[in-house]
A and B are shown apart, each in its own frame.
Chain A
């Protein structure tokens, strides 16, 4: 049966067809829909959101040790968080098939960097499959489980935003039964003491050599011989772009792209006049081709940064140029926090208190944009608290007002250890936890603070204030960020506190169905408005400046923050 599936839906389907038992993930664009699809469409699989990616991979390892097939899913930077278990996991005996899905984001559509996670396959010495369509995303996921169990190794499936979020036709297959997990002991392969790991290491090296031989004959590494004047080695979506541009060229399409099939590459290179490697981001394949002593083109003409496109590939290989593009000076439309977003109130209050604001990963990072301009750093999940601590320690006490903002989901992910450090090392920074009861940026996923699991079951609902106090913070206040005057006052008070202070800015995300904001747009009385633009300083998308006056559009959620700010009582309506 044919269906149109996104790459992510296809990976979920592949997991089901492969008889997967357990699926773990922390949400992260572009990977999030894989677990959402599993939870919604394939309830036979136990799917769970974990607080972070390290937990996801370690839970997966446990499930594999029990003999279950398991898939751990994360975005590219999530693999950094999981890198500690990832580097040692291949030393251990993988019993039930274990597949790690890394969803990379060339072009940084929704990420803080565009690292090429194919390097992790080489680093961890594990095989990697790179699908170039939804059909392959499904088929390669199934094959990854076969390879994992045949060789006793974790296997990586590397997708990118263009594969994960493109939709194409998939012929779905039969669903395989799940194995029955059993408890066994394999301590000589699971207890990574130096004496054991030392014995395991050569086994990994020998295995990767066997995998190289396997790669040379693998069905997903395919030579498509055609006109031999140009030969192209490619993988992932880059293959589709090259095929689009040069349908008559010869191709070596790599599906199992680590370890690379050295013999096949030599054979292909010998058959073509001019060899190209077309790949996004790093010269991952190209360097190995060159290490074989084979001359080729690649990053001498193709960019290292950003995603490729048919146009970029055409211009590089055929030495063409795009016609001069239209140079219209159009006003940009960056994403913004929603009308009624509770983050806006607390960011405004911090700004009015002249704080340096160390940011983190979440919707509130959008507070960087004018007119709020309220975010001063953003590095990775959980970094903001530590930035604030480091800056205030370096400056010395009382020198500047240093604050950190972090969302609830990000706090559970990797903010808790930073807060513990702040308390332990006598920090003075103010930490604001933006507690909107969801993982908002990735589309509202549950987490340990919501009381609901990914599968919709009721569970513990972590009390934020109790958690913060248990980490050693004595000055803790929970506030309503819609009350701007109180928010500003409480920030001032927290900054005056000599030790570490935490404000929990508590209000649910306006995109949650359960959130009760009035939804009735406010109105501005044009006679009372003197055009002072104070309300515009909130950066709310529902407030515009028209003909010298502020104007509220139908996008208004009725949250009332702007009303609190107006000194002329010009903003009215039901709140």
Chain B
């Protein structure tokens, strides 16, 4: 199974993909995860590859081999469409953060839903920022997306909770568990 998580530096992609990898370790898979985070705090594009199966060699996903793409920002989703398998699932947070050329008025922010639909019919938009605000913490968007993603994966909810318990502490743990559950509930709706 190959999963890509995309977004913008500072959105919490690395924490979310760390939790996903830990869940798959506990579930019994070989797992590898790779990302480029040298510039993660500087607002650039960030992408994390997570791969798990009986045995994983390459830490990065090949083109046309990604099963699920999770993206916390709309235009970031469209950068990785060549990685998708024909029947891949795409989970997109309905959120637009202007790239510099858009902010300066030189480019239009593109509408990406048709671009995704050209690749796969399995697209889900989720209002992660609204849910995060309703939980009182705008920084947990990626954990909400993780909750949504978890419904497409084998491991039981209890393994996810165990990982939140061991990897996070105190209030941060509590808000993230809450956000994770909200993400699962969003899928149910």
A-side interface residues toward B, CB under 8 Å?
2, 4, 29-30, 109-110, 133, 161-162, 165-169, 237, 240-241, 243-244, 247, 309-311, 314, 322-323, 325-326, 328, 330-338, 363, 366, 369-371, 443, 511, 533, 536, 539, 541, 543-546, 553
Pair B42/A336 contact, Cβ less than 8 Å: yes
Pair A310/B82 contact, Cβ less than 8 Å: no
Main secondary structure of the interface of A (DSSP, over half): loop
Pair B109/A331 contact, Cβ less than 8 Å: yes
B44 surroundings in chain A (CB, below 8 A)? 333-336
Of B25, B31, B59, B102, the contact of A240 (CB 8 Å cutoff): B59
Looking at the assembled complex, report how far the CB atom of B23 sits from the nearest CB atom of chain A, in whole angstroms. 10
Looking at the assembled complex, report how far the CB atom of B168 sits from the nearest CB atom of chain A, in whole angstroms. 15
B60 surroundings in chain A (CB, below 8 A)? 162, 309-310
| Contact A335:B18 (CB < 8 A) given known A29-B38, A311-B62 | no
Pair A237/B75 contact, Cβ less than 8 Å: no
Pair B33/A328 contact, Cβ less than 8 Å: no
- With A and B bound together, what is the CA distance between A134 and B184 in angstroms? 32
Pair A169/B25 contact, Cβ less than 8 Å: yes
Pair B31/A110 contact, Cβ less than 8 Å: no
| Contact A310:B62 (CB < 8 A) given known A331-B75, A331-B101, A335-B44 | yes
- With A and B bound together, what is the CA distance between A244 and B62 in angstroms? 10
Range class of the B interface residue count: 35 or more
Pair B82/A333 contact, Cβ less than 8 Å: no
Map CB proximity to A onto B77-118 as digits: 1 under 8 Å, 0 otherwise: 011011000000000000000111111110101100001000
Of B22, B42, B105, the contact of A4 (CB 8 Å cutoff): B22
Looking at the assembled complex, report how far the CB atom of A322 sits from the nearest CB atom of chain B, in whole angstroms. 6
Pair A167/B58 contact, Cβ less than 8 Å: no
- With A and B bound together, what is the CA distance between A2 and B25 in angstroms? 9
Of A110, A133, A314, A545, the contact of B103 (CB 8 Å cutoff): A545
A247 surroundings in chain B (CB, below 8 A)? 57
- With A and B bound together, what is the CA distance between A106 and B35 in angstroms? 14
Closest chain A residue to B44 by CB distance? A335
Task: Report if B127 contacts A (CB, 8 A).
Answer: no
A533 surroundings in chain B (CB, below 8 A)? 105
- With A and B bound together, what is the CA distance between A323 and B34 in angstroms? 24
B-side interface residues toward A, CB under 8 Å?
8-9, 18, 21-22, 25, 30-39, 41-45, 56-60, 62-64, 75-76, 78-79, 81-82, 98-105, 107, 109-110, 115, 119
Pair B32/A167 contact, Cβ less than 8 Å: yes
Looking at the assembled complex, report how far the CB atom of A236 sits from the nearest CB atom of chain B, in whole angstroms. 12
A546 surroundings in chain B (CB, below 8 A)? 105
Looking at the assembled complex, report how far the CB atom of A530 sits from the nearest CB atom of chain B, in whole angstroms. 14
- With A and B bound together, what is the CA distance between A165 and B18 in angstroms? 12
Pair A338/B43 contact, Cβ less than 8 Å: yes
Looking at the assembled complex, report how far the CB atom of B117 sits from the nearest CB atom of chain A, in whole angstroms. 13
Can you identify 23 A-B contacts, CB atoms within 8 angstroms? A4-B21, A4-B31, A4-B33, A110-B39, A166-B33, A167-B32, A169-B31, A244-B58, A311-B63, A328-B78, A330-B79, A331-B110, A332-B101, A333-B44, A334-B44, A336-B100, A363-B42, A366-B42, A370-B104, A443-B41, A533-B105, A544-B103, A544-B104
| Contact A166:B30 (CB < 8 A) given known A109-B38, A338-B42, A366-B42 | no
Of the candidates B22, B37, B110, the one having the most CB atoms from chain A within 10 angstroms of its own CB is B37
